[in-house]
Amino acid sequence: MSDAIRPYRSYVYAYPHKTAYRPLPDPAPALSALWRDEPKDALSLYAHIPFCEVRCGFCNLFTRIGAPDELTGRYLDALDRQATAVREALGDAAPVRFATAAFGGGTPTFLTAGELERLCDIAEKRMGVDLRAVPLSVETSPATATADRLAVLADRGATRLSIGVQSFVEAEARAAVRPQRRADVEAALGRIRDTGVPVLNIDLIYGIDGQTEESWRSSLDAALTWRPEELYLYPLYVRPLTGLGRISPADRLRADRAWDEQRLRLYRHGRDHLLAHGYEQVSMRMFRRTDAAPLGPDDYACQTDGMIGLGCGARSYTSALHYSFDYAVDMREIRSIIDSYTETEDFSRVEVGRWVDAGEARRRHLLQSLLQAGGMPVAGYEERFGSSPFADFPEELGRFEALGWLDAEAPEGILRLSPEGLAYSDGLGPELFSPSVRAAMAAYEPK
């Protein structure tokens, strides 16, 4: 293990991270102005449902337990108002087309079957997304993957159902503060397969207290019996204000290199096990069955195309501004933000976000391309930015090369991580953050 960069620093799923966002000064930017000159022919829609039946001990997502006093109905009312405002802001001067759609959370299937119908109606009737014509991914959980909810999603065009199992070993699930019975997990997987939705994804976690190679392989093999088209393998993190963060000595764990070694060992074990069982590695976390059918037209690029986020935990981005609502992890703060969202009538302006200049756009493109196993075509970067990534990031790429994290055998014109580089994705990614983003993240006070 490298002494210079630790392997588990931060899961880089987006850049800049929400903790770098800040309230925008008055007058707040109008959505119509932000989107006026943006390409709108390959947008992605993400609808965020911030409700769960329980909150796992490792979870630092924007979600709350339960929804009293018809809160889900009021939340969907607000989502409808927001969608109406956003679609109006997109305008009709140029064609508006959505290439992908996703419902996440939280747990979207916390909603009833009728509420899921309404969510789909908002996507289709308000935003104009043809859910049956684009890839539609929906997250679910063992407790909420009921037959009636799944039937709605299958009927409305879902092409991918992702279920968070985390571990098939009940003792490990309890250690991660995720109480569940394996029989209930298996029953939920059976119901998902019965829908005929073409892609099943199973999320698993490694690094749980007491987990061994044998118990990890047991979970992997239990998942493989369902022949999922995709598997995500996540390292466990202990974050401030989460359940595990309150009951575990998080500072010690984060400084504990033995835990780093355990997670790296389990990652390599899981990676090799899946590669030996007919899966290809797409990123550090994602593995896809090699004989799985493609999920639809591959014409959406997260590096360049816009994102429309609906819901108070969703991110949106244009080429110049990434924006969302206020962010929190503590349950009381989350409840307050959700309540404020449901009371909002005017969604025509952006209140919280971060401007992205040309330098940050280069970093984002490099990050989101390099962390994929396929790597980045250098010519595409040069065409977009008029410069070379090696000239723009000589220090960072030079360091990665010295550590053996760049693939010297990559095809001509492809900048790609080596297997060891992929293993260190969560250490490598933060090395590409700009000084200003790092400073903003460091100054953020968790709440």
Residue 260: both structure tokens together: 């780093």
Contact between 370 and 15 under an 8 Å Cβ cutoff? The reply is no
pLDDT of residue 298: 47
Q: Determine contact, residues 282/273, Cβ cutoff 8 Å.
A: no
Report yes or no: 203 and 230 within 8 Å, Cβ to Cβ.
Answer: no
Percentage of the chain lying above the pLDDT 70 cut? 89
Closest CA to 324 of 50, 10, 130: 50
- What's the pLDDT at 4? 66
- CA proximity to 105, closest of 156, 69, 144, 68: 144
- pLDDT, one tens digit per residue, over 43-102 is 999 999 988 776 554 555 666 676 777 999 999 999 999 999 999 999 999 899 999 999
**pLDDT at residue number 155:** 98
Let me know: does 177 contact 204? Beta carbons within 8 Å: no
Instruction: Check residue 336 and give its pLDDT.
Output: 86
Tell me which DSSP letter residue 102 carries. E
Q: What is the pTM of this model?
A: 0.92
State both tokens at 426: 């969560």
Handedness of CA 338, 134, 113, 242 (dihedral sign): negative
Nearest CA among 5, 16, 9 for reference residue 440 = 16
Q: Which residues partner with 377 through β-bridges?
A: 414
The per-residue pLDDT for 243 is 40
CA quadruple 401, 19, 52, 130: dihedral, nearest 10? -80
Q: What is the per-residue pLDDT across 129-148, written as a single tens digit (0 to 9) for each? A: 999 999 999 999 999 999 99
Reduced to 3 states (helix: H, G, I; strand: E, B; else coil), residue 251 is helix
Q: Are strands 286-289 and 230-235 parallel, antiparallel or unpaired?
A: antiparallel
Give start and end residues of each alpha helix (H) in 127-231.
147-155, 170-175, 182-195, 213-224
- Name residues whose C-beta falls within 8 Å of residue 320's C-beta, 6 or more positions apart in sequence: 34, 355, 356
In the structure encoding, which two tokens stand for residue 390, read together? Answer: 């090696």
Determine the 3-state secondary structure of 233 from DSSP: strand
Mean pLDDT for back-to-back runs of 10 residues, the chain (447 residues): 72 89 93 95 94 62 71 96 98 93 92 97 97 96 96 98 94 81 96 97 93 96 98 81 44 66 96 98 96 64 77 93 86 85 96 95 95 96 97 97 96 97 95 96 86
For 351-387, b where at least 16 C-beta lie within 10 A, e where not — what string?
Answer: ebbbebeeebbbbbbbbbbbbbbebbebeebeeebee
DSSP label of 406: B
Contact 232, 201 (CB under 8 A): yes
β-pair type (230-235, 22-23): unpaired
